[in-house]
Amino acid sequence: MNTVPKQEHSQQNAQQRFTINNRPASNFAALVIQQPLFWGYLHAKTGWVVNDSGSADTLMKKLIGVSSKKEIDRDEFALYRFNLMFNDYRATVNAA
């Protein structure tokens, strides 16, 4: 899956939004944290116990420096950090 951000502009909302496959990037992050393989990736990278989507959500946000996944939609550096994490996760899964 291509995770290159796309910018959307709206006259109603002057803030910049980032999307992945025409959906808010935060929606993609919400899907990723539901994957048990991602939980294992986070555990392997940090040593923290990750046994559900809630703990994956908390740890992912901590690692990319946001308090809400919605920040990924508006902060290009948060999106960059998320993309780095996701691409490393994908490379880890593909190497297995």
Q: What local confidence, expressed as pLDDT, does residue 7 receive?
A: 47
In eight-state DSSP terms, residue 19 is: E
Strand residue runs (E) in 6-94: 6-8, 17-20, 23-24
Could you state, in order of their start, the residue ranges of all structural domains in the chain? Answer: 6-95
pLDDT of 81 over the 90 cut: yes
d(C-alpha 71, C-alpha 69), whole Å = 5
Q: Which residue has the higher pLDDT, 51 or 5?
A: 51
pLDDT band at 16 (very low <50, low <70, confident <90, very high): low
Q: What is the pLDDT of residues 41-71, one digit of tens each?
A: 999 999 999 999 999 999 999 999 999 999 9
Using alpha carbons, list the distances in angstroms from residue 28 to 14, 49, 65, 70: 22, 22, 17, 11
